[in-house]
Amino acid sequence: MGPRGTEVVSRGSLPYNPAGVVEEGAVPELPEVETVVRDLRPHLTGRRITSIESGRKALRKPWKKRWNADLLGQTIRSVERRGKWIVCRLDGDRRLVFHLGMTGQLTVADAGAERESHTHLIFGLEGLRQLRFRDYRRFGSATVYESPAALEQFFARARLGPEPFGLDATYWRSQLARTARSLKAVLLDQRVVAGVGNIYADETLFQARLHPKVVGRDLDATSADRLRRAVATVLNRAIARRGSTIRNYVGGEGLTGSYQREFRVYGRTGEPCPRCGAPIECLRVAGRATHFCPQCQPARG
């Protein structure tokens, strides 16, 4: 937390799309959301909600007035991430769940701090603090679920896949073996693995030395395992750098990410490959601009 009166900001620019893929170059993906959660957790955990204000303009999902009574007096017990959702666990098993949409910002500020325009939800907290949700494009959402089961039902309806860390090898191989889609499309599909978007799909395929247009069912077991490990490696590396700041993303402490300085292929069309020096190329795969090294990631067949 910065000095008193300064804001703890969480920003993002990802279209809400629970079972699909993200727009080109959009963040936050998993590393950015994880950074936001880690930054906000110490400032929200153990705080009681003392008041709630909602704006006149609705977010992607309208805030329901009955949720005010449900949340008042509740204490935030934990702040976690599932895929690209931020999940606050409250008393009585309720869950307050945020999605940042394209321009959503979660801010913890002093109650007397000036309110920015497009602030749609304000949760008063003990200690004269406020959790503010700002979103000028209003594609984000804040939703209350009455129980863990209700939230899990939502994720099940969205067919949200497993987290990319500790992915079961048998599951991963079976997902690849049954599809005629490209590896890029598989990585972008939130039903297969949660949290990966365009940026980290490109970086993962480079890490695994696999061409983005290779078909999933054509991958042998060794290559499939290499790709599975690459997903976790790249995401962990990005989390350690606080994610990637391409446009307006900052983490919960108001700090920008730095992983964009370490991109191997993403956004580097025509620049030399950091491994072999060949020019990075860009194709459109799975409807997305896709960056790769033609020498380190040779096409097959």
Tell me, yes or no, whether 187 and 270 share the same domain.
yes
Give the chain's mean pLDDT: 87
Please indicate, yes or no, if residue 236 is contained in any of the structural domains: yes
Please indicate, yes or no, if residue 298 is contained in any of the structural domains: no
Residue after which a domain boundary falls, among 102, 133, 157: 157
Residue after which a domain boundary falls, among 105, 132, 157: 157
> Which whole number is the average pLDDT over 156-160?
95
- For residue range 108-151, list pLDDT tens digits in order: 889 999 888 888 899 999 988 999 988 878 888 999 999 999 99
Q: What whole-number distance in Å separates Cα of residue 274 and Cα of residue 147? A: 48
pTM given for the model: 0.85
In the residue annotation, 84 being an active-site residue is answered as yes
Within 8 A by CB and 6+ apart from 218, the residues are 300, 301
Which residues is 144 bridged to in the sheet?
96
> Percentage of residues in the chain with pLDDT exceeding 90?
66
9: nearest Cα among 133, 181, 189, 146 = 133
Q: Give the domain extent around 78.
A: 8-157
**Largest distance between two CA atoms of the chain:** 63
Residue 23 pLDDT > 60: no
Tell me, yes or no, whether 75 and 140 share the same domain.
yes
Tell me, yes or no, whether 17 and 152 share the same domain.
yes
Catalytic residue, from 15, 28, 31, 164: name it. 28
Tell me, yes or no, whether 117 and 190 share the same domain.
no
- Alpha helices of the chain — where are they, by DSSP H? 30-44, 66-71, 148-157, 169-177, 183-188, 198-208, 221-240
Catalytic residue, from 11, 60, 82, 84: name it. 84
- For residue range 51-62, list pLDDT tens digits in order: 999 988 888 888
Tell me, yes or no, whether 131 and 180 share the same domain.
no
Please indicate, yes or no, if residue 163 is contained in any of the structural domains: no
- Strands 76-82 and 85-90, bridge-based pairing: antiparallel
Tell me, yes or no, whether 134 and 174 share the same domain.
no
Tell me, yes or no, whether 19 and 119 share the same domain.
yes
Please indicate, yes or no, if residue 266 is contained in any of the structural domains: yes
Provide the pLDDT for residue 102. Answer: 74
Catalytic residue, from 7, 11, 15, 29: name it. 29
Tell me, yes or no, whether 131 and 267 share the same domain.
no
In the residue annotation, 163 being an active-site residue is answered as no
Please indicate, yes or no, if residue 75 is contained in any of the structural domains: yes
Please indicate, yes or no, if residue 208 is contained in any of the structural domains: yes
Residue after which a domain boundary falls, among 115, 133, 157: 157
Tell me, yes or no, whether 119 and 192 share the same domain.
no
Residue 288: which CATH number?
1.10.8.50
Residue 35: which CATH number?
3.20.190.10
Tell me, yes or no, whether 40 and 18 share the same domain.
yes
Provide the pLDDT for residue 108. Answer: 87
Tell me, yes or no, whether 151 and 174 share the same domain.
no
Please indicate, yes or no, if residue 88 is contained in any of the structural domains: yes
Catalytic residue, from 129, 228, 264, 288: name it. 288
Tell me, yes or no, whether 211 and 282 share the same domain.
yes
R_g over Cα of the chain: 20
Number of domains in the chain: 2
Q: Please tell me the least confidently modeled range out of 88-102, 165-179, 196-210.
A: 88-102
In the residue annotation, 62 being an active-site residue is answered as no
Please indicate, yes or no, if residue 1 is contained in any of the structural domains: no
Q: How many CB atoms lie within 10 A of CB 7?
A: 18
